[in-house]
A and B are shown apart, each in its own frame.
Chain A
Amino acid sequence: MKISDIQSLDQFTCVQSEYADAEVSSGYTSDLLSDVMAHADEGSVLITIQAHKNTVAVSSLAGVVAIIICNNRPIADDVLEAAASEGIAIFQTAENQFQTSSLIAQHLAGCPAA
């Protein structure tokens, strides 16, 4: 699955699209930036509600390629700007972290279930 594949899914709205399309390796669900820093894989998509500038900074350090903000949490402009300059895609979704994790996992496994 590539980043652009997330963009094509109904549940997700791309709010920051300045990114180089890359393969998504895995998912990581967390709102604790120290955890993201320590455990998120290179090339992973971060599933979180932590719509903060530091989330972008940590994602960039950890090699996260896309961030999905759940529960339709508002995203401030400075967050989007930071992500654009780091080339990290940002998506917004009404789904919660539990549902989003399952959804992403299904698509990563190549079997988009209902």
Chain B
Amino acid sequence: MGEEQKTPLQSSLRVQELIYGLKISEVMTKKVFAVSRNCTMRDVQQIMKNNGITGVPVVDSKRVVGFVSMNDLMNALEQGDMGDGVTSHMSGEVQTLAEEMPLSFAISAFNKFSFRSFPVVNKKNELAGILTFRNINLALIRELSRQLREMENQHSAVPETESMDLVKVYQLHRYDFENGGKASSEIKKFLKARGFHAKLVRRVAVASYELEINLVAHSIGGMLSFDINADRVKISSHDRGPGIADVEQALTEGYSTANEWIRSQGFGAGMGLPNVKRVSDEFAIQSAVGMGTMIRAVINLKPEKQNED
């Protein structure tokens, strides 16, 4: 079954899986050097120099109110304004990231803005850390080597053919309606072959199919991953954008942003995401405009845990 082609593809998928699976909070630097509004540019210069960093957030009672970059510092230096307060040189409009966002959102942000680092905030909107590209690289290297060690350890174990466990990742591309649905067909067959009740298989198939179509019709591309064990099927959908402005609206039946072409393909009637939610035992969605959308749907396989239908 094309095993020989699998290795490079799987490894690039593994990296993608990581950037979707890791949270920003797991990757960022938690020890942040920040300054308050009454500090001077010279204070910032000292902090940068002593700690080898290239940007310092300005905070006011833990909230990020500005950011002083290396560039801002250079400009102040050139103009001989190093004694000035930071507020006259900082950028006031700061793009922050939320710590519970997946790493993929951060990568989109790095692509979209030219900043070298982003302040990260927690749920209370307080400064919680800082994220640089270096953080991302280190985290990926760390995770990949850990996985490599795991794979080496597992190598000797004989795979069970009737095993209930399956981890699989599918890539989906914008407007590629022809391939939307392949993942669902495979997963459906997998579950059917293991003797699950037709109704249960149908729920999994509906959720995964709608998510596939959602990626194809509405995202610029992304991936759908399955993590199956004897207890449950976990389906995760991740895309690189454009992100949903109003998640609640997107979950309202009949609401759709689909264009006429998508409609002509038989989709875009605003039933997709509500449909996924309907058939899932657990459903979670997270989205940020310009960064992407992450959806997780869980369907329990054990009868006592299933929703009545």
Contacts and interface: CB of A to CB of B under 8 A. Distances in A.
Interface of A: 31-34, 49-52, 54, 73-76
B52 interface: no
Contacts of A54: 260, 263
Contacts, number: 26
Interface residues of B, number: 8
A31 B264 CA distance: 9
B6 to A, nearest CB: 39
Interface of B: 253-254, 256, 260, 263-264, 266, 269
Nearest to B265: A32
A73 B260 contact: no
B264 A32 contact: yes
User: Which secondary structure dominates chain B's binding surface?
Assistant: loop
B263 A50 contact: yes
Contacts of B263: 32-33, 50, 52, 54
Contact of B254 (A31, A33, A74): A74
Contacts of A33: 260, 263-264
Contacts of B266: 31-32
22 contacts: A31-B269, A32-B263, A32-B264, A32-B266, A33-B260, A33-B264, A34-B264, A50-B263, A50-B269, A51-B269, A52-B256, A52-B263, A52-B269, A54-B260, A54-B263, A73-B253, A73-B254, A73-B269, A74-B253, A74-B254, A75-B254, A76-B254
B70 to A, nearest CB: 50
Contacts of A32: 263-264, 266
B269 A49 contact: yes
A51 B254 contact: yes
A50 B264 CA distance: 11
Contacts of B260: 33, 54
Nearest to A32: B264
Contacts of B253: 73-74
A73 B254 CA distance: 7
Contacts of A50: 263, 269
A71 B125 CA distance: 44
A74 B270 CA distance: 10
A33 B269 CA distance: 12
Contacts of B264: 32-34
Nearest to A54: B260
A51 B266 CA distance: 13
Given A34-B264, A52-B256, A76-B254, 16 more contacts: A31-B266, A31-B269, A32-B263, A32-B264, A33-B260, A33-B263, A50-B263, A50-B269, A51-B269, A52-B263, A54-B260, A54-B263, A73-B253, A73-B254, A74-B254, A75-B254
A31 B256 CA distance: 15
A84 B152 CA distance: 68
What 10 A-B pairs come out closest when comparing CB atoms? A74-B254, A74-B253, A34-B264, A32-B264, A51-B254, A50-B269, A76-B254, A73-B254, A54-B260, A33-B263
Contacts of A76: 254
